[in-house]
Amino acid sequence: MRVAIAGAGLAGLSCAKYLVDRGHTPIVLERRDVLGGKIAAWKDEDGDWYETGLHIFFGAYPNMLQLFKELEIEDRLQWKEHTMIFNQPENPGTYSRFDFPDLPAPVNGLVAILRNNDMLTWAEKIRFGIGLLPAIVQGQRYVEEMDKYSFSEWLKRQNVPERVEKEVFIAMSKALNFINPDEISATIILTALNRFLQEKNGSKMAFLDGSPTERLCEPLVEYIEARGGKVRLKAPLKEIQLKEDGSVESFLIRGLDGAPDEQLEADLYVSAMPVDPLKLLLPDPWRELDYFKQLEGLEGVPVINLHLWFDRKLTDIDHLLFSRSDLLSVYADMSNTCREYANPDKSMLELVLAPAQDWIGKSDEDIVAATLAELQQLFPQHFAGESPATLLKSHVVKTPRSVYKATPGRQQHRPVQRTPLENFYLAGDFTLQQYLGSMEGAVLSGKLTAQAIDADLQNPGATPGTSAQSLTVEPATNAATA
C-alpha cells in the first residue's frame, strides 16, 4: 500500500521503516528542512552541532535498541558507567552517586540506593522502600491506576518523608517530563522506577556519538528510501482533505516560495505529528468524534535546551548529571560524553532548563545569564578568583510544546493508534503505548501503527478505533520514559 505519513520525527520515521519491512511504500512529509522532530539538530557557522534536547538512551529501551540493531548502527551508542550522579547544592562542586553493581535486578538497584548515604538517611530509605512495595508487587496495573495522583500526592499517601522528594525526585521529575513532582502524574515516575528496578541494565545510559539528526535519523531515511519509500523535507501539511464519508481523500501540501499547493493521494494516511499541531489540523467533522475530543486533554510542555562553550574544562565527568538546581534539570559536558563533540581542552555543556513555563518568553541573553549564575554554584572553582571561565559562545533552543505534559489524568486522553476512520492512523509518543513521552515511546508508537496497518489489511473486518496494543512487539516491551 502507498502510505502518506505527516511528520519525520522518530514516530514517523520508525512507522515508515516498519512499513517498508512489510512491503508497503511510505511517503514521509516533514514541514521543516531538518529531520528528527523533537530530536532535531543543526550545525552553526563554526560547524558545531546544537540540538533540540539532551537525548539519553536507556537500557530499558528495547524497541529503540532493536531499531539500532536493525539499522546496524549499534556501535554509535556510547554506553556509560552504570551509575546516576547528582550535584550536591549544599556542598557546591561535589557529587553524590548511585552506583549499580554487576548483580541481577532488583538487587543491583537496591544496593545502589542502600550504599548512597549522602542524600537519604537509612530511615528515609526504608520508608521509601516500603512505600514502593505496591508498585513492585502489583506491577504496571497498579502504576496505571496511580495516574489520578501527582507524584507528591502519591508520596504522601505512602507516608514517604518529604525530604525524599526534595533530595531525589524533584531532579528525576524534571528529567522525565520537565515539570516538578507536584505536577507530574505518579504513573510517570513509578513506571521509570519499575523498569530501573526490574531490569539489570534498565537505568544504564548511553549517549549517541554525534547529532541525532545525522547519526540516527539519516540512517533511517537511507533504509526507507533503499526499499522504495520516500522522505520529503520542506513539505508542510496544510490540510487533511476528506471524502464524503469522512475518511481521508488526500493530504494537501502547502507550496513554498511561490509554488502552488500540492495534493498528495495515497491508500492510507498517518499523522506522526505532535499532538498540538495535530489538533490544529483536525478537519471540522472529526472534532465531533469522541476519539478526537479526547485529544483536548493533551498539550505539549515547554522546554529550553542550552549549549554553552567555555575556554577550559569545567569537568572531566563522562556522564549525565542531575543538577538539583531550581533552574536546571539535567546536563552533560558533551566534550566528554560524545565523540563528535570531543575536546580535551574545552567544555561544551548541554543543559536542560526546566520547568520552562516562566522562561520560554524571555530573551536568549536573559536565559544564558541566569544559567551562568547557576553554573557558578555547580562549578565554583572555575567561576571564582582572578581568572574565571569565559563563555565563548552559546545557543538556546526553545520548544514551546515538547512531549505531552504528563499531569494526573492524562492517560485516559491518550488515543490508540487506530482511529475511527478506516484509512487514517496516528503515531507519536503521546499515543497509547506501554511507554510514555520519550524516544522509546515514539519508536514503539511508529512500530505499533505499522503493525496495525498491516493487520487491518490482512483482516479487513477489524474495528476502527480499537487498540493496537494486542499486536506482537518484539522484543517484549517494558515501560520506561526519559
pLDDT of residue 478: 33
Mean pLDDT within 152-157: 97
Q: What is the DSSP string of 437-462?
A: SSHHHHHHHHHHHHHHHHHHHH-TTP
Higher local confidence (pLDDT), 135 or 179? 179
Per-residue confidence at 475, pLDDT binned at 50, 70, 90? very low
Mean pLDDT of 467-476: 39
- Out of 123-137, 347-361, 374-388, 457-471, least confident range: 457-471
Angle at which helices 186-198 and 107-115 cross, to 10°: 110
> Mean pLDDT across the stretch 422-427?
97
* pLDDT 10s digits, 324-359: 999 999 999 999 999 999 999 999 999 999 999 999
pLDDT-based confidence at 462, cuts 50/70/90? low
CA–chain centroid gap for 114, Å, is 29
β partners of residue 325: none
What is the rounded distance in angstroms from the CA atom of residue 131 to the CA atom of residue 123?
12
Is residue 472 pLDDT above 60, yes or no? no
Whether the predicted pLDDT of 467 surpasses 60: no
Instruction: Say how many C-beta atoms besides its own lie within 10 A of residue 46's C-beta.
Output: 8
Residues above pLDDT 90, as percent of the chain = 87
What percentage of the chain has pLDDT greater than the value 70?
A: 95
Instruction: Please state the length of the chain.
Output: 482
From 411, 401, 451, select the one nearest 432 (Cα to Cα). Answer: 411
The pLDDT of 261-265, averaged and rounded, is: 97
First to last CA, the chain: 34
4-60 pLDDT per residue, tens: 999 999 999 999 999 999 999 999 999 999 999 999 999 999 999 999 999 999 999
Cβ burial, residue 412 (10 Å; 0-12/13-18/19+): exposed
Mean pLDDT score across all residues of the chain? 93
In this prediction, residue 85 carries a pLDDT of 97
Query: Is residue 466 predicted with pLDDT exceeding 70?
Result: no
The pTM score is 0.93
Residue of 187 and 476 predicted with greater confidence: 187
Mean pLDDT of 137-143: 89
| More confident of the two residues 437 and 25 | 25
Rounded to the nearest 10°, the torsion over CA 470, 475, 476, 481 is -100
| 481 pLDDT more than 80 | no
